[in-house]
Structure 1
């Protein structure tokens, strides 16, 4: 009978098919009308499951271990919705990670920072030696030279204070959204403050 052949086919393949699919796959052993009647009868008896997708009916066999319970599995639309939500969450996480990575790549590397620090130390040592020499020397300089030196010193002092203020503001802005303390954050970035290296401005 058509019902037995259709049920066996669905059980063996364990895949969902439409009436047209079953008719073609049974190679014309039964007419399309006979196949449709068999599918409807099997569906009503609970031996197979019928799902409606738009205007098309799709049938799938219930395997032996599920015949007693005959409970509906989770709807495919629900699965798709759940997976889509998970995908959107992962996309959001990926976007944040990419932004964080971009910031890291744009920041100077440890080697670059160490080189800059060494250059600044060398420059500072030279300037301190020159300043100590100028303080200890008895050589008299002209009023014009003294004015120029004082002007350069004042200019450097203003630039130092400006950069220190900007650095402090940047650090405070970052710490607003950071759960870490200021001390631990500075240690993690391997930063050195004036207080940490006992740097003090020398007035002239």
Structure 2
């Protein structure tokens, strides 16, 4: 009678319980010793499973349609390893593609590059024109003007240097 009630409770709730939890959840219908003996008997008969966590025993009902073999766990482990390796490969590919994308987006477009080339050519042409005018310039200052300018510069330089004291 107690074994049927406890087994039905474990199957219906479908979660692990300790002996004390089962006793409390059955609202004290059975004493703790009766529940403990019944749980141990159900484990021996193979209707429920017991796991030890430290000093505490936890009991769970075996569901007939949810039985999994140890081979399933091994299969899941091997699938996990394969998928983890595939994930790492895809992450490395993603990083390389993102770096290429960053390089490509930082480079100017064809139209922008052409406009930059045209601007550079215009600056070169204007500077060449300026250089040619300076090379071909016949406006030469006389020696007296040059001496006057240098003397004026020396005078102002001395005032600047010694006048700030």
Number of the residue aligned with 2:114? 118
Secondary structure at the aligned position of 2:52 is classed as strand
Number of the residue aligned with 1:29? 29
Number of the residue aligned with 2:59? 59
- How far off is 1:32 after superposition? 1.0
| Aligned-partner Cα distance in 1 for 2:90–2:55 | 39
Aligned residues: 132
| Aligned-partner Cα distance in 2 for 1:90–1:107 | 26
- How far off is 1:35 after superposition? 0.6
Change in CA separation of 1:72 and 1:142 when aligned onto 2, cut-off 3 Å: closer
Secondary structure at the aligned position of 1:9 is classed as helix
Structure 2 runs not aligned, ≥5 long: 137-165
| Aligned-partner Cα distance in 2 for 1:11–1:123 | 82
Q: Which string of whole-angstrom CA distances, capped at 9 and with x for unpartnered residues, describes residues 20-68 of structure 1?
A: 11111101111111111000000001111112222221111123457xx
Number of the residue aligned with 1:6? 6
Higher helix share: 2
Equivalent positions of 1:27-176 (< 5 A) are: 27-65=27-65, 73-74=69-70, 92=88, 96=92, 99-100=95-96, 103=99, 106-107=102-103, 109=105, 112-123=108-119, 125-126=121-122, 130=125, 142=135
TM-score (norm 2): 0.54
Secondary structure at the aligned position of 2:15 is classed as coil
| More off after superposition, 54-63 vs 19-28 | 54-63
| Aligned-partner Cα distance in 2 for 1:64–1:141 | 101
TM-score (norm 1): 0.45
Number of the residue aligned with 2:162? none
